[in-house]
Structure 1
Amino acid sequence: MALASLLILLTAAGYALLCAMRPFAPCRKCSGIGVRTRRRTVTLCRRCHGTRARLRIGRRLLNNSRTIHAHGTRPQTTDRKAAPWQ
């Protein structure tokens, strides 16, 4: 049981490291080419819009959690001249 928990924890840590180092992955719809060929017509991929990359799910979750945290906390004051009691 402990070994399985350790493997799951290591896998999650590895995926978090991968999302931090390489946040973009090749598009799954166009295989990272950026265009789709259908019936002798070449069009831009609708999923990646021709950028050939997509944001990983883990990175998207991290970005959303950062946004939620930033909206839920007070803004930091950068004015050091003001006294804390004013």
Structure 2
Amino acid sequence: MLVAMAAIVLWAGGYAVLCAAKPFAPCRRCRGLGKIERFGKPRMCPRCHGRRLRLRIGRRAHNAWRRTHQAGTR
């Protein structure tokens, strides 16, 4: 039990460092290419709009927490 808890804490800490160092990751739908093939034609990715990157879930949560904190302390 203690080993599992330590592993979870270690994983969460590593993910937090990753979100701070590299907040963007390749788009899951186009795999970072910016284009997908639909009906035999290359088109701009509808998820990332051709930007090739997406904001990580942890960074999105951090940004939401920071906005809420700043709005509450004004």
Which band: TM-score by shorter chain? over 0.9
TM-score (norm 2): 0.95
Q: Which sections of structure 2, spanning at least 5 residues, go unmatched?
A: none
Higher Rg: 1
Aligned-pair identity (%): 54
The runs of at least 4 aligned residues of structure 1 exceeding 2 Å deviation read none
Quote how far apart the aligned CAs of 1:36 are.
1.0
Query: Which structure has the highest helix share of the two?
Result: 2
TM-score (norm 1): 0.83
The superposition leaves residues 35-75 of structure 1 with CA deviations (integer Å, 9 ceiling, x where unpaired) of 1111222211000000000000000000000000000112x
Q: Relative contact order (C-alpha < 8 Å, sep 6+): which is higher?
A: 2
Q: Which sections of structure 1, spanning at least 5 residues, go unmatched?
A: 75-86
Count of residues paired in the alignment? 74
